[in-house]
Each structure stands twice: as structure tokens, then as C-alpha cells.
Amino acid sequence: MISSETDMEKKKVLKISNNLGLHARAAGKIVALANQFESRLFLSKENEEVDGSSILSILTLSCPKGTEIKAKIVGQDSEAFMERLTELFANKFGEDA
């Protein structure tokens, strides 16, 4: 899954597996996470790339369950950030318990 990357830049394809898809609450959790890190997050679906710290931009990607989106993190703490982001997606944003 992991494609070309450097120390400063991490890339990964993440799958949305919670039933509701990437709705406001889930998007909010991504933004809250992004605010904890220095690095910048970009999310893209098909050819559209958006700022991962903007809840509105994430919503406009319109991702139902099953969508695969590309995450790109650029900055000093990109590795730790990507780890937490992967966790968040794997936990289905804390939903579907």
C-alpha cells in the first residue's frame, strides 16, 4: 500500500470502513487530529486533493463506506501523524462498535 515517500513526506491509501462513510463527525475527528500535528495533511480522491485540516473540504470529497482515499502528510512529524491517522481509519472513527 505504501508508495514512494521520504522522511518528510508520508503517503498511504486508506479505506473508509465505517457504515456512515466520511460524514461530519468522522471528518471532525480527522481535523482534530490534524490540529495536533505540525505536518500538513492532504486527502485526495480520484483527482481531487483537499486540505485535511478543513472539515468543509473533507466533506466535499463525499466519501461513502468503502471509498479509498489517498493521504499525504508533509512535515517533521509526518510519521507519527500517519500512524495516528491509520489508527483512526482502522478504528472506523470510533463508530460501529
Partner 1 sequence: MTVRPNEPKDRMQGIPVSPGIIIGKAHLVDRSTVQILYQYLIDEKQIAGEVERFEHALRTTEKQLETLKNKMPEHVKEHSFILDSHLMILKDSMLCDSTIRRIQEERINAEWALKKSFHEIRKIFAQIDDDYISNRIQDVESVSERILRNLSGEMQENLAEIRERVIIVAHDLSPADTTELNISKVMGFITDVGGQTSHTAIMAQALEIPAVVGLEAASERISDGELLIVDGSTGEVVINPDDADIIRYQEKQLQHEKYKSTIAKISHLPAETPDGYRIAIKANIEFLEEVAAVRDHGAEGIGLYRTEFLYLRSKGLPTEEELFNDYREVAEIMAPDPVTIRTLDLGGDKFASQIDIVNEMNPAMGLRAIRLCLREPGLFRTQLRAILRASIFGRVQLMFPMISGVQEVLEVKEILNAVKQELDGEGIIYDENMPVGVMIEIPSAVTISDLLTRHVDFFSIGTNDLIQYALAIDRVNEHVAYMYQPFHPAILRMIRQVVQEGRKAGIKISLCGEMAGDPLCTPILLGLGLDELSLNARSIPLVKTIVRSIPLKQARHDFKQVLQLNTAKEVRDYLLKRMKKLIPELGERGFFPA
Q: Choosing from 23, 29, 40, 65, which is the catalytic residue?
A: 23
The 3-state DSSP class for residue 68 equals: strand
Choose between 3 and 32: whose C-beta lies nearer to partner 1: 32
The 3-state DSSP class for residue 79 equals: helix
d(CA 51, CA 69): 13
Compute CA 87 distance to the chain's CA centroid, rounded to the nearest angstrom: 10
CB of 54 to partner 1, least distance (A): 5
Q: Return residues touching partner 1 (CB under 8 A).
A: 20-21, 23-25, 28, 31-32, 51, 53-57, 59-60, 62, 64
In the annotation, is 23 catalytic?
Answer: yes
CB of 64 to partner 1, least distance (A): 7
User: Which amino acid is residue 33, in one-letter code?
Assistant: L
User: Which amino acid is residue 43, in one-letter code?
Assistant: L
Active-site positions read 23
